Structure 1
Amino acid sequence: MSARAYVGMAGWVFPDWRGTFYPPGLRQADELAHAATRVTSIEINASFYAAPSRASWVAWRNAVPDDFVFAVKAHRYTALVKRLVDPEPSVARFLDSGVRELGPKLGPLLWQLPPELGYDEAVVGRFLDALDGTELRHAVEARHPSFADDRFRAQAERHGVAVVRGDTANGWPVLDWPTADFAYARLHGDLDRHPHGYGPDGVAPWAAWTRTQLAAGRDAYVYCVTENKRHSPLDAVALLEALAG
């Protein structure tokens, strides 16, 4: 099977998208189904803060087409509270919380690390060990500069875990490393450079980046999580149009 691009935004419920991305009068209950006609993936962020019910996972799975895929942000407890220490219980608890109800529509799990959490080879190694054997794709968004370390790259590659390629002005490291059989990017859309969203010109380099991943046989997951969130879905649509072109 050839590599695919999965492009979308974080979440699908946002008042400013109504009347712009969503047609006027569309019921909120129908917004996910509509979004799934315009983008090819969505990153679920609600799971970062609380565990959705199993009924919610099933409803989301049933609302989208068969070829639609969700990325899921893993619960914050493992990274923010435990700081990746003793990760096995919290990783197992999250994986058993209902996320697998997405079935074949479950894409990568995103493990977002806090910006103040520095790189520790042993701690990261045990965390990555805890992800082994889950039969799921995992991506790590490292936001402390110390993660720009060849030891981290080697660990991620050994475990087949993707390192997130970010686009941000927050001083987070830019890690464009092919460490897995898929790639994952999050476009934060620095407001100084993209005050009104990325637009066609802004997404052009990301279309090129995505094509590079596909040409190398890697699926590419790209999410517009712009600082000015109102532009995120239209930026995702613009990126899909650039890829189609």
Structure 2
Amino acid sequence: MNCQPHAKPMVYICTNIEQFCLLCDEIAEQPYPLCVACEQALPWLDEYCLRCALPLPMAGLTCGQCSRRAPAFEQVIALWHYGFPVDTLISRFKHRRQWPLGRLMGELLGHGLRHRYAEGLAVPDLLLPVPLARRRLRERGFNQAGMLARWLASQLGVPCDERLLLRTRDTPAQQGLDAKARRRNLRRAFTLQRPGMVEGKHVALIDDVLTTGTTAQAIAQLLRKGGARRVDVYCLARTPKPGQA
């Protein structure tokens, strides 16, 4: 098994029974282009905070930060630790436009969410992707959160609105900033174009990675002020605390 994706163009037909795994190039023998061996080798998130999905040593616990001050969002659903090879897959999806990798991860997230719904997780009324700053959107050419939201909307049968939540100003990248700097960086960075659209609704915020949760917290507060009944966060991966394995 080789979990390093090939750099060659990756195009596949979803209805093709003999799909090839996008990670090792072997026949997948599954409904999606990922073989069983590679799927099992992914860094699945099994033990995490019940509120923010922070990786923890044991399951069924709430982290200290969420215990001291509950976030504005109700629950974070993440499939994986942000570690190899998921970190590589997300990076290639975002920065190298290898969209089949993003589609594959979005499909797996959709499978995971449907399983959670069957176990009692509340189904949201609306999916909202985290918006990109205009400058970054021009540079990248697409919003990875918006693509994930569209794919999830199709799988889950939940409507998605990519224009309701707006980023009103360009801010420096969050990478490398501590929690306080991240909060200052995001002050008044988001707005709702039509606040009444979320009143009384259960909203799920879509992003690729949750790091400190600062962005999710800022948007969740905005949505709650706009009248949202509940805000959840759906993402592909969750990072651990700095220095935590």
Superposition TM-score, scaled by structure 2 size: 0.36
TM-score, length basis structure 1: 0.36
